């Protein structure tokens, strides 16, 4: 790479990042070797120190101007210079170990993402493979160093590390959101207890399903299985949905169309909830044959049981930007579903099924179960209160306060107050 020559008055493409030593010899420019030491002189014959860029490559010279090779620590960071002194970047194999250097040449440690894949480098910078422990958690790195997110291990008290299953759960979510019926995934755990592996994966599946509230209440049956040996398990899920993907898409499209037709400019959350409640009660009748459980059937056939009412109400509220949940429990001692709705930061219970008379009376809407508190609805409804936010506000009193305060919506609130009976 270098020649022991003298170049007079020639530009050498030198970028200076470090300091210089004012040793001026007019005849010496460019590279010069003295014994085994290489030095570099700029066009003025000044011997260089520190960082220098020569012909596109970076070099580092110590305080006496000697070019450095091999491992060098500069300002707390480690760099590697090849036998010709050029700073290295990217992947480099040194003494049998792999290292990764940033674009600035600094050796990397800890977790690093390279071309979309995650690698782990120990405190000395060497890329790791196999099982490693980081901050008390176990990770598996393939033979090429890539972290396999579908792997985990079991800690000392035999409780699976949930954080390591994030990627597994995300993949499950993707399949569920696409309403895939048969899901097969690989899972590389070193746990030899296959029942523990199955329980771990079922818990992750449940978390994924619960993250999609609408689909969670549209799944009628799930079957799980796991096969394989430690380090190579196959997890299979078979799901039966009450709605097809096409039917769910239909519900979403119809919900958007309905909201566009019933929500008027300037409506606040109180008014939006009122018109959505009224729409569901007026357009759906209770299915006394107990066969229709979906929002699709509530829309297409205009008939459903409580679950269909709650799902349709949920989708319409969500489309209108109103925070809501589906509550399951009992009503009058029978399995039942209804909604929680959040209006101006306060939660209420909304039961469109119980507000729809049986037999159905065309155009008739009742409000006995409209925006109730926990205390009010608990008279004949039971649910797991630990799973839902407390509803402590009396809605009639809340409206009265707004009317008395001279709200710009006082007339609208008065109309709502006239019909609610609690």
Q: What is the DSSP string of 260-290?
A: HHHPPTT--HHHHHHHHHHHHHHH-EE-TTS
- 91-128: CATH superfamily: Cholin Binding (2.10.270.10)
- The rounded mean pLDDT for the chain is 88
Share of the chain above pLDDT 70, in %: 89
Domain boundaries, the chain: 14-88, 91-128, 158-241, 245-419
- Give the per-residue pLDDT at 294: 98
The residue-averaged pLDDT of 84-109 equals 96
Whole-angstrom Cα distance, residue 381 to residue 331?
A: 4
Instruction: State both tokens at 233.
Output: 């398990």
| Cβ atoms of residues 263 and 274 within 8 Å | no
- Give the per-residue pLDDT at 13: 38
More confident residue, 138 or 306: 306
Share of the chain above pLDDT 90, in %: 76
Q: With helix as H, strand as E and coil as C, how does the chain read?
A: CCCCCCCCCCCCCEEECCCEEEEECCCCCEEEEECCEEEEECCCCEEECEEEEECCEEEEECCCCCECCEEEEECCEEEEECCCCCECCEEEEECCEEEEECCCCCECCEEEEECCEEEEECCCCCECCEEEEECCEEEEECCCCCECCCEECECCCCCECHHHHHHHHHHHHHHHHCCCCEEEEEEEECCCCHHHHHHHHHHHHHHHHHCCHHHHCCEEEEEEEEEEECCEEEEEEEEEECCCHHHHHHHHHHHHHHHHHHCCCCCCHHHHHHHHHHHHHHHCEECCCCCCCCHHHHHHCCEECHHHHHHHHHHHHHHCCCCEEEEEEEECCEEEEEEEEEECCEEEEECCCCCCCCCCCCCCCCCCCCCECHHHHCCCEEECHHHCCCCCCCHHHHHHHHHHCCCCCHHHHHHHHHHCCC
14-88 shares its CATH topology with 245-419 = no
**pTM for this one?**
0.63
Whole-angstrom Cα distance, residue 135 to residue 334?
A: 49
- Give the per-residue pLDDT at 9: 32
Cis peptide preceding 359, ω within 30 of 0:
yes
| Cβ atoms of residues 351 and 339 within 8 Å | yes
More confident residue, 153 or 224: 224
Q: How far is C-alpha 418 from the geometric centre of its chain's CA atoms?
A: 45
Fold for 245-419, please state it: C8orf32 fold (3.10.620)
Whole-angstrom Cα distance, residue 167 to residue 163?
A: 9
- Give the per-residue pLDDT at 359: 81
The residue-averaged pLDDT of 118-139 equals 86
What is the CATH architecture of 158-241? 2-Layer Sandwich (3.30)
- Give the per-residue pLDDT at 158: 30
Instruction: State both tokens at 124.
Output: 């000395």
The residue-averaged pLDDT of 200-226 equals 94
The residue-averaged pLDDT of 103-107 equals 96
Q: In sequence order, what are the residues at sequence separation of 6 or more whose Cβ sits closer than 8 angstroms to the Cβ of residue 311?
A: 214, 217, 218, 251, 294, 295, 298, 326
Q: Model confidence at 422, in pLDDT bands (50, 70, 90)? A: low
Statement: residue 150 has pLDDT above 70: no
Residue with tokens 């489309």: 319
Q: Is 176 helix (H, G, I), strand (E, B) or coil?
A: helix
Whole-angstrom Cα distance, residue 338 to residue 335?
A: 11
Q: Domain 14-88 carries which CATH code?
A: 2.10.270.10
């Amino acid at each position: 790479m270098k020649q022991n020559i003298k170049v007079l008055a020639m530009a050498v493409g030198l970028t200076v990042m470090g300091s210089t030593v004012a040793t001026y010899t007019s005849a010496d420019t460019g590279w010069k070797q003295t014994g085994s030491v290489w030095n570099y002189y700029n066009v003025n014959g000044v011997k260089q120190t520190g960082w220098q860029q020569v012909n596109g490559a970076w070099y580092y010279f110590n305080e006496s101007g000697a070019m450095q090779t091999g491992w060098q620590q500069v300002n707390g960071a480690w760099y590697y210079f090849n036998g010709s002194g050029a700073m290295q970047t990217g992947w480099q194999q040194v003494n049998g170990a792999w290292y990764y250097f940033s674009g600035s040449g600094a050796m990397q440690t800890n977790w690093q993402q390279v071309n979309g894949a995650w690698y782990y480098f120990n405190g000395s910078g060497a890329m790791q493979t196999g099982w490693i422990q980081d901050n008390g958690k176990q990770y598996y790195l393939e033979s090429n160093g890539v972290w396999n997110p579908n792997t985990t291990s079991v800690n000392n008290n035999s409780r699976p590390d949930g954080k390591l299953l994030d990627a597994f759960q995300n993949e499950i979510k993707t399949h569920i959101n696409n309403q895939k019926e048969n899901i097969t995934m690989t899972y590389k755990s070193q746990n030899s207890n296959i029942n523990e592996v199955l329980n771990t994966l079922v818990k992750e599946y449940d978390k994924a399903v619960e993250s999609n509230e609408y689909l969670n209440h549209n799944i009628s049956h799930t079957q799980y299985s796991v096969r394989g040996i430690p380090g190579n398990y196959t997890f299979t899920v078979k799901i039966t949905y009450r709605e097809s993907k096409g039917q769910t898409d239909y519900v979403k499209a119809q919900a958007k169309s309905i909201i566009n037709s019933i929500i008027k400019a300037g409506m606040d959350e109180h008014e939006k909830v009122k018109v959505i409640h009224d729409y569901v009660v007026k357009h759906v009748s209770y299915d006394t044959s107990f066969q229709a459980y979906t929002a699709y059937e509530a829309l297409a056939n205009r008939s459903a049981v409580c679950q269909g009412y709650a799902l349709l109400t949920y989708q319409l509220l969500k489309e209108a930007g109103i925070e809501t949940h589906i509550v399951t429990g009992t009503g009058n001692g029978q399995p039942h579903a209804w909604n929680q709705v959040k209006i101006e930061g306060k939660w209420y219970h909304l039961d469109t099924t119980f507000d729809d008379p049986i037999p159905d009376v065309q155009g008739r809407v009742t409000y006995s179960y409209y925006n109730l508190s926990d205390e009010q609805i608990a008279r004949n409804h039971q649910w797991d209160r630990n799973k839902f936010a407390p509803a402590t506000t009396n809605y009639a009193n809340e409206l009265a306060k707004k009317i008395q305060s001279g709200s710009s919506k006082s007339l609208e609130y008065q109309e709502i107050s006239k019909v609610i009976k609690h």
